[in-house]
Structure 1
Amino acid sequence: MITHPSGALGDEKYRPQFHFAPEKNWMNDPNGLIYYKGEYHLFFQHNPKENVWGNMSWGHAVSPDLFSWQELPVAITCTEETGIFSGSTVIDYTNSTGFGSVENPAMVAIYTEHKNDKSKQSQCLAFSLDNGRTFTKYEGNPVLDINSPDFRDPKVQWVENQWLMTIARPDLHQISFFTSHNLKEWKHLSDFGPTAEVGGCWECPDLFQLGDKWVLIVSLNPGGYQVGSGTQYFLGQWNGKKFIADDVKTRWLDYGRDNYAGITFNNTPQDRRIFLGWMSNWEYAHTFPTQPWRGAMTLPRELSLHGDRIIQTPINHPNGFPEVSFTTSDGAIRICENNERYVEIGVRNQKLYIDTSRAWCDLDAPTLQEIAIEKGEIDIRVIVDRGSVEVFAVGGAIVLTNLVFVETALTSVQPLAGANNLKVAGLQTTHA
């Protein structure tokens, strides 16, 4: 159940049932993802007043399991002169900032303050001593200012007894790294980029370790895999001062249209690396036909590494998902509202594909994605919500996240030739 200040989740057209979406008004990037005292905190870019981008503030929701979300009042609000752009939160266990105490450590938000006249972006702090319910802006803000109009999205973590900030220089196609002992005074360490995909600005970076590798996630807009927004990642090592990539090969985190600006949670139990993205695309986000809200998050996914590929595994829903899985080397299924409205997913000509042309609207966007795969039979898992499908293939090494539009919901599965080992849960099975 997703609850909001006014009560339980609504039943508006396209309203997702197990993806987080705000009760009303605009939402984009996830911010400040963190687990603390039994709660996952989701902060997010939010317009508290309108269903379009603007008045950027940090919305807030909490959950014990990443699905039962409770939306809370706005956490950090904009001013007439400034917007509160993307960032991260940490728990200051050592009280390095002096905001709290060792007994009651502060939750500290590190965010980008954006001048509405577009003259400058700088990094600021706000802190909470009541588990994120209220925040106080630091009187000494900004704590990092390089006098640049494009300098944003700090992801901060505690690494090797110091705070490490990973932050974007969007117009330069660079990611910069800074270090601090108290979150207030920052020293520049190094820069990474430009390299690989540079067809748009670089945003919303995240640096973390998976096994014996370090991963650097970089969102890109425009210049995605097919159109508009996309997310690439690099593999390499962090040597304490700089990120050294193994290569400059392009690796896409998602081959669908609708997964952008995603980052991972800090402070998770068992150090699980859990990712959450904004399920939309800047090509059409403003005209997305939903009311009274606009924007949702992807499924939360645990990341792991197999060879040189990130594996994404959806976090299990307590009640299970409506989903279908099958194997094929040359076959497909359709997930249908009826015989005229459906999504087709399968393999043909040695390519994995998803075709949403029969489950889309008038918005101008590609409705076919294809990804070359190795020869042979592959596994495909599709999780279905109202308004979206998420495809996890080859054990989660290939992922496609796509918004869809049908009048009610996708409720049945129709296997086509070549679809083997079909398993269906929470959906009906029909035949042509």
Structure 2
Amino acid sequence: MTASTATTADTFRPALHYATRNTWLNDPNGLIFHGGLYHLYYQNNPLDNVWGNMSWGHATSPDLLTWTEHPVAISCDEQEDIFSGSIVFDRHNTSGFGTAETAPLVAMYTSAFKPASAHHGVQAQSLAYSLDGGYTWTKHTANPVLDRGSAEFRDPKVFRYTGEDGSYWVMVAVEATDFQVVLYKSEDLAKWELLSTFGPANATGGVWECPDLFALPLDGEADNLKWVLTVNLNPGGPNDGSAGQYFVGEFDGTTFTSSTTVTEGPQDPARLAEYQWLDWGRDYYAAVSFSDAPDDRRLMIAWMNNWQYANQIPTSPWRSPMSLARVVSLRTVDGKPRLVQQIAEDPASISNLEPSFTLESAEISNETRIIDGASGSVQRIELTFTPGTADDFGLIVRGDETHGTRVGILPAQGRLFVDRTASGQSDFHESFASIDSAPILPIGGSYRLTVVVDHCSVEVFAQGGLVTMTELIFPSSTSTDVSLYASGGTATVSSLNLTTFS
């Protein structure tokens, strides 16, 4: 990883995560690897740092860590706002937007039509295309290309499917307030035929948004592909507010069939913890994956914020960062398929990851112990705990004498938690100061954590990425201590490797 330095005037600007220079962002859109670069498009207000004037911003990176912001890619106008969507490389020019020399990139996005439009009040799907690698875009003159007459039809994710019936484009979108995923097919990206629908199922505590559908080998077996359907919802997450869930099953080119559905129809609040969540933290929303990622990796990025307080977080002049990119895989755990998520670094970017601090073993007993020589505000911490008699144990990051963010384990309850009630600034919204938790079980008698700390966030990858938690924090620039703690008994840190970037 590499890190830029936050200035005094911009204390919370992330060093390892993407944020705009001076505007608002939310959902990642149009993620694609093209021309040797990762392209990140996103919901953007180019005129302010709160939600509004929805357009597509644009940034590129060679390594998923160092990002360059570009001018607005697809702008709103008097007719429409540009809501979420996706981009494909139309390498065979099925759309006809390309030339003999240049295959187009084609963006499919949701047009949220304004009063000046003949489609006012409708959300429908539209196209734009680029012939210069994704930097300038032309809206299709025949937009919208798919209109259901719905006010809540949005967020198309398009991919190329090849099966027994041939090869064609598939679109996955949502009827948001019906808790329904709708699937369409097309030969040319302009004329669409309904395939099937999925849902309601599992979590329906808020509108469904930003779906994705992709295949992954189960347990690394290339001949055992399973399909993963992700659906974000707001509100209704496991720790309140925005979140993302997933289903695992089969897709035959027409219908997605889930093998992991817990409840169909309306959500059962008593079974919320049984649903499969992309992330158990408060600040991981609208996650979608890249098209054409190198080495067939499935890479995902999410918006690192929560609609409960998104417009109020204390950052300026920018507002809202993106999560780190994650590589996702599928593993059998206790007889069921589970997503595993790990930090997705480009191989060329990790050559300088030698730890700046190591600790081979330490027993902690009814204490909070500051680790001398380990302070910092941007860090990657890898550690393994072996439980003893303690009721809870863990570490505290971005701390000082009175503040800090606690990442802890309650072994008797089988819970991992992040406590940000004393993390720094938290009074900007009544729901921000929280203690959020996720289920966790020991593996081989131990708990293994990777914690990525940035100027305004903590991302926790537990047990090799089987459980993740993502949380915004807003600590003082002087809160840089790292501590280990145990309450009500003992715990042992059997290894700790820490890399400090600033």
TM range (shorter): over 0.9
Please give the TM-score of this superposition, normalised by the length of structure 1: 0.94
> 1:193 matched to which residue of 2?
199
**Aligned residue among 14, 22, 26 for 1:16:** 14
- For residue 286 of structure 1, give the secondary structure of its aligned residue in structure 2: helix
**Aligned residue among 229, 239, 248 for 2:261:** 248
Residues 248-327 of structure 1 mapped to structure 2, 5 A cutoff:
248-249=261-262, 250-307=275-332, 308-316=337-345, 318=350, 319-320=352-353, 322-327=379-384
Between 149-158 and 335-344, the greater mean CA deviation after superposition: 335-344
Larger Cα-atom Rg: 2
Q: Does 2:481 correspond to 1:412? A: yes
User: C-alpha displacement at 1:9, in angstroms?
Assistant: 7.5
Q: Which amino acid aligns with 1:322?
A: Q
Q: Does 2:33 correspond to 1:35? A: yes
Count matched residues.
424
User: C-alpha displacement at 1:20, in angstroms?
Assistant: 0.2
Note if contact 1:2-1:69 (Cα within 8 Å) is conserved in structure 2.
no
Deviations 1:251-292 (A, max 9, x none): 011010000001000011111100000000000001111110
- Unpaired stretches in structure 2, ≥5 consecutive residues: 218-224, 263-274, 354-377
Between 19-28 and 116-125, the greater mean CA deviation after superposition: 116-125
- Percent identity between the aligned chains? 42
**Aligned residue among 414, 422, 425 for 2:498:** 425
* Cα gap change, 1:276 to 1:101, in 2 (>3 Å): same
- For residue 85 of structure 1, give the secondary structure of its aligned residue in structure 2: strand
Q: Which amino acid aligns with 1:154?
A: P
> 1:364 matched to which residue of 2?
430
**Aligned residue among 146, 151, 154 for 2:153:** 151
Deviations 1:65-85 (A, max 9, x none): 111111000000001231000
Q: Does 2:355 correspond to 1:355? A: no
Note if contact 2:205-2:235 (Cα within 8 Å) is conserved in structure 1.
yes
Q: Which amino acid aligns with 2:209?
A: E
Note if contact 1:94-1:101 (Cα within 8 Å) is conserved in structure 2.
no
Between 337-346 and 409-418, the greater mean CA deviation after superposition: 409-418
Note if contact 1:144-1:186 (Cα within 8 Å) is conserved in structure 2.
yes
User: C-alpha displacement at 1:419, in angstroms?
Assistant: 4.3
Between 358-367 and 76-85, the greater mean CA deviation after superposition: 358-367
- For residue 270 of structure 1, give the secondary structure of its aligned residue in structure 2: helix
- For residue 286 of structure 2, give the secondary structure of its aligned residue in structure 1: strand
Q: Work out the CA distance in 1 between the residues paired with 2:312 and 2:407.
A: 26
Deviations 1:140-196 (A, max 9, x none): 111100110000000001111100000011010000000000000000000000010
* Cα gap change, 1:230 to 1:102, in 2 (>3 Å): farther
Note if contact 1:337-1:408 (Cα within 8 Å) is conserved in structure 2.
no
- For residue 228 of structure 1, give the secondary structure of its aligned residue in structure 2: coil
User: C-alpha displacement at 1:409, in angstroms?
Assistant: 6.1
Q: Which amino acid aligns with 2:457?
A: S
> 1:339 matched to which residue of 2?
401
Note if contact 1:332-1:419 (Cα within 8 Å) is conserved in structure 2.
no
- For residue 147 of structure 2, give the secondary structure of its aligned residue in structure 1: strand
Q: Work out the CA distance in 2 between the residues paired with 1:419 and 1:305.
A: 30
Q: Does 2:373 correspond to 1:373? A: no
**Aligned residue among 64, 69, 72 for 2:70:** 72
Note if contact 1:2-1:20 (Cα within 8 Å) is conserved in structure 2.
no
> 2:247 matched to which residue of 1?
234
- Unpaired stretches in structure 1, ≥5 consecutive residues: none
Q: Work out the CA distance in 2 between the residues paired with 1:129 and 1:413.
A: 49
**Aligned residue among 387, 394, 399 for 2:468:** 399
Note if contact 2:384-2:496 (Cα within 8 Å) is conserved in structure 1.
no
Please give the TM-score of this superposition, normalised by the length of structure 2: 0.81
Note if contact 2:398-2:475 (Cα within 8 Å) is conserved in structure 1.
no
